[in-house]
Amino acid sequence: MKKGLIKVLLMAFIALMFVSACSKDDDNDLSKFETLINYMDANNMTITDLLSSWIISADSTLQANMNDYYFMDLRGSDTNENGITDYDEGHVPGAVLTSFGTLLADAEEADKPIIVVCYTGQSAGHAVMALRLSDHQDAKVLKWGMSGWNGYFDKWTANCVQLDHENWLVAPGNIMASETFGMPNLEATGSNGTDILAERVAAMLTGGFKGIIGSDVLDAPEDYFINNYWAATDVEQYGNIETAYRLNPLVLENLNPDEIIVTYCWTGQTSSMITAYLTVLGYDAKSLKFGANSMIYDDLVSHNWTGSADWDYEITEP
């Protein structure tokens, strides 16, 4: 009887240790997320910090102060139908060619605040988020990308459309009430905030720009966790995508880590920054390309692409 009791107690102890070990593993997974968030918050990397003065227009003020910035051109190096690269066909004077794979290494050459140039200002959002999380806190996106620099490179006009889709809820809209969710399981091998952040930024850059077109989201909104990154008055004026939440300011506990998180804004430039940020934190996130301009363009009275006829700034050609 005594031996039987000892055996039962031993088995209970082993089971308790097993559960404890499992709990510890779960705690370790969670602690990496918490370690990263705490590190970022302590080093002025909250989403509010990261979205401070992050975009710059190709206007007369910038033209007068070109020497104050280090331009990095993110456009691909593949050759076009003319047998030359988009970069060689024309770029901002002095801009250096870069890529997601070489961005951080190339940025080490910068001795001034960085401005990242892409085709439309959207891919640049991912790049600038990576730079701001990697000791280049003053990096900026060139608004509208190369399209806003010179009309020859316009890739916006063709993507500004009015869909009149049945899953766009017209004004005043019907935003979903916020819910509370858990946090994502962060995949990282680092044990401290510095290492985890560097690892996650590298993973985000390796994955490249994460975008999705508005018609795909409108066709099946139930397949995504959709976040409208507008003010409440904007929803009342324009409406929203069916099933969309409105999380602005962004609250992580209101995001569902088990779904694909699609953020949309006016132009896809802010949402690119947010998508990159969420990807670093372990969420499966995508940016709705061209934002509201790709869904309700004719309705927009602000934040809309107006063309680049007057923006024919100097380019360097081969």
* 245 and 180 belong to one structural domain: yes
**What distance lies between CA 236 and its chain's CA centroid?**
25
Domain end point (choices 152, 174, 189):
152
Residue 103 placed within a domain: yes
* 148 and 160 belong to one structural domain: no
* 22 and 68 belong to one structural domain: no
Q: Is the peptide bond before 172 cis (omega within 30 degrees of 0)?
A: yes
Does the structure show a pLDDT above 70 at 1? no
Residue 47 placed within a domain: no
Does the structure show a pLDDT above 70 at 11? no
* 77 and 113 belong to one structural domain: yes
Q: Compare 69 and 17 and report the one with higher pLDDT.
A: 69
Summarised one tens digit per residue, pLDDT across range 180-216 is 999 999 989 999 999 999 999 999 999 999 999 999 9
Length of the chain: 318
Residue 59 placed within a domain: yes
Neighbours of 250 (CB within 10 A): 17
The dihedral of CA 156, 162, 167, 172: what is its sign? positive
Of the candidates 247, 248, 250, 238, the residue with the CA atom closest to the CA atom of residue 295: 238
Summarised one tens digit per residue, pLDDT across range 222-253 is 999 999 999 999 999 999 999 999 999 999 99
* 116 and 182 belong to one structural domain: no
Distance separating alpha carbons of residues 252 and 232, to the nearest angstrom: 19
39 pLDDT tier (thresholds 50, 70, 90): very high
- Identify the pLDDT of residue 309: 58
* 211 and 299 belong to one structural domain: yes
Q: What is the CATH number of the domain that holds 276?
A: 3.40.250.10
29 pLDDT tier (thresholds 50, 70, 90): very low
* 99 and 213 belong to one structural domain: no
Does the structure show a pLDDT above 50 at 38? yes
Residue 60 placed within a domain: yes
- 3-state DSSP call for residue 311? coil
Distance separating alpha carbons of residues 201 and 188, to the nearest angstrom: 11
- Identify the pLDDT of residue 78: 78
- Identify the pLDDT of residue 311: 63
Summarised one tens digit per residue, pLDDT across range 60-108 is 999 999 999 999 999 987 788 888 899 999 999 999 999 999 999 999 9
The dihedral of CA 191, 99, 63, 108: what is its sign? positive
* 146 and 178 belong to one structural domain: no
- 3-state DSSP call for residue 298? helix
- Identify the pLDDT of residue 55: 98
Residue 115 placed within a domain: yes
- Identify the pLDDT of residue 75: 95
What number is the average pLDDT over the span 2-7? 46
How many domains does the chain contain in total? 2
Domain end point (choices 128, 152, 176):
152
Q: Which two tokens stand for residue 272?
A: 């690119």
* 233 and 275 belong to one structural domain: yes
Query: Which residue type does 39 have?
Result: Y
Residue 184 placed within a domain: yes
**What distance lies between CA 132 and its chain's CA centroid?**
12
* 130 and 166 belong to one structural domain: no
Residue 315 placed within a domain: no
- Identify the pLDDT of residue 307: 86
Residue 97 CB-half CA count within 13 A: 12
Domain extent for 165: 1-42+156-306
Summarised one tens digit per residue, pLDDT across range 147-161 is 999 999 999 999 999
Q: Which two tokens stand for residue 248?
A: 């602005």
* 34 and 70 belong to one structural domain: no
Residue 318 placed within a domain: no
What number is the average pLDDT over the span 117-132? 98
* 161 and 20 belong to one structural domain: yes
Summarised one tens digit per residue, pLDDT across range 249-308 is 999 999 999 999 999 999 999 999 999 999 999 999 999 999 999 999 999 999 999 986
Domain end point (choices 152, 172, 188):
152
